[in-house]
Amino acid sequence: MMYSAMRRLVAGIALCLLAGAAQAALAPAMLQPLAGDDPDARVAAVAAIGALGTPEAVAVLRALKEDALYMMPDGQVAILVPPAAAPAGAAAIVVNNRLRAAIEAALSGMDLLAPEPAQRLAAARALLGQEASSGQLVLVQRALKTEQDGQVRAALQLLLALASLQAPQAAERAAAVRRVGELGGSAQRAPLQAMLETASTEPDATVRLAVTDALKVIDARQARTELVGNLFYGVSLASVLLLAALGLAITFGLMGIINMAHGELLMIGAYTTYLVQSLFRHYLPQALDLYLLAALPAAFAVAALVGMALERTVIRWLYGRPLETLLATSGISLVLMQAVRTLFGAQNVEVANPAWMSGGVTVLGSLVLPCNRIAIIVFAVLVTAGVWLLLNSTRLGLFVRAVMQNRRMAGCVGVPTGRIDMLTFGLGSGIAGLGGVALSQLGNVGPDLGQSYIIDSFMVVVLGGVGQMSGTVLAALGLGEANKLLEPVAGAVLAKIAILAFIIIFIQRRPQGLFAVKGRSVE
Report which of 137, 213, 217, 140 is spatially closest to residue 183, judged by C-alpha positions.
Answer: 217
pLDDT of residue 26: 61
Instruction: Name, of 13-22, 69-78, 504-513, the range with top average pLDDT.
Output: 504-513
- Band of pLDDT at residue 157, cut at 50, 70 and 90: confident
Instruction: Band the pLDDT of 122: cuts 50, 70, 90.
Output: confident
Residue 89 Cα distances to 2, 75, 357, angstroms: 14, 10, 55
How sure is the predictor about 4, in pLDDT bands with cuts at 50, 70 and 90?
very low
- The whole-angstrom separation of Cα 65 and Cα 99 is 9
91 forms beta bridges with 71
200: three-class secondary structure by DSSP: coil
Helix (H, G, I), strand (E, B) or coil at 128: helix
Residue 294 predicted with pLDDT over 90: yes
Least confident window among 369-383, 413-427, 458-472: 458-472
For 24, 25, 196, the CA distances from 145, given in Å and listed in that order, are 18, 20, 33
Axis-axis angle for helices 205-255, 454-464 (nearest 10): 80
pLDDT of residue 461: 86
Nearest residue to 102 via CA among 128, 136, 67: 136
29 Cβ contact list (under 8 Å, min separation 6): none
Packed helices 97-110 and 117-128: angle between N→C axes, nearest 10 degrees: 130
Is the pLDDT reported for residue 86 higher than 70?
Answer: no
**Helical residues (DSSP H) of 319-370, grouped into ranges:** 322-344
Partners of 369 in the β-ladder:
361
Question: Residue 108: what pLDDT?
Answer: 67
Task: Assess whether pLDDT exceeds 50 at residue 6.
Answer: no
| pLDDT for the residue numbered 184 | 83
Nearest Cα neighbor of 265 from 72, 437, 523 is 437
For residue 516, the model assigns a pLDDT of 62
Region 224-509: CATH code: 1.10.3470
Q: At a CB cut-off of 8 Å and minimum separation 6, what does 389 contact?
A: none
pLDDT reading at 518 higher than 60: no
Q: Is 422 left (phi over 0), alpha (psi -120 to 50) or beta?
A: alpha
Kindly report the number of other CB atoms within 10 A of residue 397's CB atom: 17
Of the chain, the percentage scoring pLDDT greater than 90 comes to 18
**pLDDT tens digits, 261-287:** 888 999 999 999 999 999 999 998 898
Q: Would you state the pLDDT for residue 232?
A: 93
| Eight-class DSSP state of 124 | H
**What pTM was estimated for this model as a whole?**
0.74
Residue 173: what residue type?
R
Cα distance between residue 462 and residue 468, in whole Å: 10
How does 50-78 read in b/e, with b if 16+ C-beta sit within 10 Å?
A: bbbbbebbbbbbebbbeebbbbbeeebbb
Q: What is the pLDDT of residues 163-211, one digit of tens each?
A: 888 888 888 888 888 888 888 888 888 888 888 877 677 788 888 899 8
Lowest mean pLDDT among 22-26, 70-74, 271-275: 22-26
Q: Convert the pLDDT of each residue in 410-458 to its tens digit.
A: 888 888 888 888 888 899 899 999 999 999 988 888 998 888 888 888 8
13, pLDDT greater than 70: no
Instruction: State residue 87's pLDDT score.
Output: 65
Write down the domain spans for the chain.
2-105, 114-203, 224-509
